[in-house]
């Protein structure tokens, strides 16, 4: 049985927004969900829908093989989700900070000049699929492009598509109204739509891959506002560093979800969310790594076996069209959607 939960806000919008980039431990959440549940705000807005064990192991295992290595690559452009600037988490090439703000900073290069690039804390977080901005240093007529992973590893990407198509089917089943809007918009730019072929297109353009990463309080930027986020976790069987915790939480409402392998979470990524702390299960103290900037040991949680995947539609993919959609095109897509999903 699916439990319906209705929650009131514990903080107003001004208070929660002032905590952007902060971390929240599990003690901040009065409700931890590890069962089938639908959660709404007391204003009637859907916050999340969670289902246990709905993705077959055959699909999660293949996705793990495809994404494991790429997910561990660290980037410095994750903004508030990577937390407030921390000297020990900045890239090694940052020798001196310049014009710093809360989540990003300019820096002085080794030749003494000031870089035009702004960076934030390093995070093991990457994208796959398609993206709506140009690569750094490249000039193209149309900004939409294949991501680096999808371009360089087409076979790994192809092998992961049945997993993503299963996620799309779960999205449609749980949140059909949001899925239809997102699918319609995604299929206005079919070149940049995730799917095996024209018969199995999804409502997604992009996925984000995170490996053993505890995010700070943030709201996702660049996603289609009328759509919905999809979060899946796969525990890496080749990594002995098991864990508890790292719940996906909405601190404004005091609710968090324990997403594990095979589970599916549809969530409103435009609400403030974050992850709780990892709890070590292998019996050892949390190992340390060396800071890339100071050379000193720093407590770091990137060793745990949690790979998370977020599936979504980039809002600006529509800008890659060369013309406005016609009425006939919209009608055709509506008919196609009806035929494709009416029997599910």
Asked if residue 11 is part of any domain, the answer here is no
93: in domain: no
Instruction: Provide the CB-side half-sphere exposure for 310 (13 A, CA).
Output: 21
Q: Indicate whether 171 belongs to any domain.
A: yes
Residue 79, domain member (yes or no): no
Stated length of the chain: 344
- Whole-angstrom Cα Rg for the chain: 20
Is residue 273 in some structural domain? yes
The residue among 69, 71, 236, 66 whose CA lies nearest residue 156 is 66
For 78, 82, 212, 215, 294, the CA distances from 124, given in Å and listed in that order, are 10, 10, 8, 10, 19
- pLDDT at residue 286, rounded to an integer: 53
265 bridge partner residues: 50, 231
Per-residue pLDDT of the chain (344 residues; tens, 9 = 90+): 999 999 999 999 999 999 999 999 999 999 999 999 999 999 999 999 999 999 999 999 999 999 999 999 888 888 899 999 888 888 888 878 888 888 888 888 777 888 888 898 999 999 999 998 755 555 555 578 899 999 999 999 999 999 999 999 999 999 999 999 999 999 999 889 998 765 568 999 999 999 999 999 999 988 999 999 999 999 999 988 899 999 999 999 999 999 999 999 999 999 999 999 999 886 555 545 555 555 655 554 458 999 999 999 999 988 888 888 899 999 999 998 888 887 65
Q: Which two tokens stand for residue 157?
A: 């990407």
Place of tokens 């796959």: 128
* Tokens linked to 295: 């050379």
C-alpha to C-alpha distance for 11 and 32, rounded to whole angstroms: 18
**Is 193 inside any structural domain?**
yes
- Domain annotation covers residue 143: yes
In this prediction, residue 292 carries a pLDDT of: 56
Going by DSSP bridges, is the β-strand pair 37-41/3-7 parallel, antiparallel, or unpaired? parallel
> What's the pLDDT at 132?
86
Closest by CA position to 104, among listed 127, 131, 123 = 123
Number of domains in the chain: 1
Residue 176 in any domain: the answer is yes
Q: Tell me, what CATH number does 329's domain have?
A: 3.60.130.30
β-pair partners for 37: 3, 50
Residue of 316, 329, 325 whose CA lies nearest to 145: 316
Residue range(s) defining the domain that contains residue 266: 26-73+128-341
């Amino acid at each position: 049985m699916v439990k319906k939960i209705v929650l009131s806000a514990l903080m107003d919008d001004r208070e929660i927004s002032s905590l952007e980039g902060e971390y929240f431990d599990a003690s901040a959440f009065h409700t931890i969900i590890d069962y089938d549940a639908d959660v709404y705000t007391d204003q009637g807005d859907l916050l999340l829908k969670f289902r246990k064990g709905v993705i077959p192991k055959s699909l999660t295992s293949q996705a793990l093989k495809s994404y494991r290595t790429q997910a561990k690559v660290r980037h410095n452009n994750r903004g508030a989700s990577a937390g407030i600037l921390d000297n020990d988490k900045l890239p090694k090439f940052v020798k001196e900070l310049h014009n710093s703000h809360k989540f990003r900073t300019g820096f002085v290069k080794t030749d003494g000049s000031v870089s035009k690039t702004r960076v934030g804390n390093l995070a093991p977080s990457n994208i796959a699929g398609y993206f709506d901005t140009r690569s750094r240093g490249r000039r193209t007529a149309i900004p939409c492009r294949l991501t680096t992973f999808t371009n360089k590893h087409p076979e790994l990407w192809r092998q992961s598509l049945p997993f993503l198509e299963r996620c799309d089917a779960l999205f449609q089943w749980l949140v059909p109204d949001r899925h239809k809007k997102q699918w319609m918009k995604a299929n206005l730019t079919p070149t940049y739509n995730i799917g095996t072929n024209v018969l199995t297109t999804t409502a997604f353009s992009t996925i984000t891959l995170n490996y053993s990463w505890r995010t700070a309080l943030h709201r996702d930027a660049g996603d289609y506002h009328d759509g919905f986020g999809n979060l899946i976790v796969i525990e890496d069987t080749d990594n002995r560093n098991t864990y508890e915790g790292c719940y996906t939480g909405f601190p404004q409402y005091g609710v968090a979800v324990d997403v594990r392998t095979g589970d599916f979470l549809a969530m409103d990524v435009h609400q403030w969310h974050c992850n709780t702390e990892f709890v070590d299960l292998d019996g050892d103290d949390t190992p340390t790594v060396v800071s890339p900037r100071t050379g000193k040991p720093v407590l770091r949680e990137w060793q745990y076996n949690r790979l998370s995947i977020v599936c979504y539609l980039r809002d600006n993919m529509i800008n890659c069209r060369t013309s406005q959609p016609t009425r006939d095109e919209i009608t055709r897509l509506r008919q196609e959607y009806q035929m494709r999903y009416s029997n599910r």
